[in-house]
Amino acid sequence: MAPILYKIDLSPPANAVRMLAHIIGLQLELKDVAFSSMEHKSPEYVKKNPMGQIPTLDDGGFILGDSHAIMIYLLSKYGGNKSELLYPSDAQARAVVNQVLFFDASILFSRIKVVTLPTVMGTLKSPSERHLADIEEAYGMLEAFLSRHSHVAGDHLTIADLAIANTLYAGVLIKKLDAEKFPLTTAWYKKMQEEPSYKEIAAYGSSLLSQALSFTWQKCPEDLETDAPPLVAL
Ligand SMILES: N[C@@H](CCC(=O)N[C@@H](CS)C(=O)NCC(=O)O)C(=O)O
């Protein structure tokens, strides 16, 4: 039986997991969560994921939350010979990947989510200067990681790239990536957007999120930076 992934299409963490599944050729059974009616906070959902967040994985009754933990689990169980590259076993190489995964969870995605979540729920009418400065500062950290390697956590694609690329599609809708200030991040993000799994999964998530943010901010989707054509309003 295929593992079940509880998701919504515009969720960067859910899409990171889906990109990983695409890359390793793992079939997932996708189940949509009714985010706007707060299904992710319902007693039944919270029993599965005490954080009340999306995504959640159910692999034959083994239940796991957090996209980073889910990606590591799926790779170790189903990754086959792709695991070594995507999540190296060498202690130091793996530690570098972990560092960027924790950076994503604790800094980059957090600083973006404090804007996207209330916006999608319709309560934040625009990001504050402080929000923008915090996101820009996090871009600087990412640029520093990318000055060390060709990818965010090594010289090849790892699950850290999947996590960050998805987070970044949300980030750039709030704070444009300035190619002069962040040339390495800009070039790396362009490369990631060319990945078949990004085109298949994240590009759609990005365009949906662009619609949702522009709707609340009462802007045209074209005024936000996105990598996919706008869709009709959600
Ligand atoms: N660290 C988590 C973050 C997940 C997350 O925040 N997901 C959002 C949807 S994109 C969510 O469920 N937000 C609702 C909430 O945090 O209450 C992960 O990587 O899975």
Domain locations along the chain = 4-83, 86-223
Cα–Cα distance for residue pair 104/112, rounded to 1 Å? 10
DSSP annotation of 15: H
Place of tokens 């990598």: 227
pLDDT reported for residue 124:
93
- For the cut 70, the answer to whether the pLDDT of residue 226 exceeds it is no
Nearest-CA residue for atom 6 of ligand 1: 53
Q: Mean pLDDT, to the nearest integer, of 50-57?
A: 98
Rounded to the nearest angstrom, the distance between the alpha carbon of 169 and the centre of ligand 1 is 15
pLDDT for 31 equals 98
- From 3.40.50.10860, 1.10.3260.10, 3.20.20.10, 3.40.30.10, which CATH number describes the 4-83 domain? 3.40.30.10
CB 152 within 8 A of CB 145: yes
Q: Is residue 6 scored above 70 in pLDDT?
A: yes
Residue 224: what pLDDT? 73
DSSP state letter for 123: -
Mean pLDDT of the chain: 94
Q: Please report the pLDDT score of residue 232 as a whole number.
A: 44
| Residue 219 pLDDT greater than 90, yes or no | no
86-223 is classed in which CATH architecture?
A: Up-down Bundle (1.20)
Q: Which of 71, 113, 119 to mutate to test the pocket of ligand 1 (most atoms within 8 A of CB)?
A: 113
pLDDT tens profile 124-171: 999 999 999 999 999 999 999 999 999 999 999 999 999 999 999 999
> Residue 218 — pLDDT band, cuts 50, 70, 90?
confident
- 91 residue type, one letter: A
- Does the structure show a pLDDT above 50 at 51? yes
15 lines ligand 1 (CB under 6 A): no
Ligand 1 pocket residue status of 117, Cβ below 6 Å: yes
Percentage of the chain lying above the pLDDT 90 cut: 90
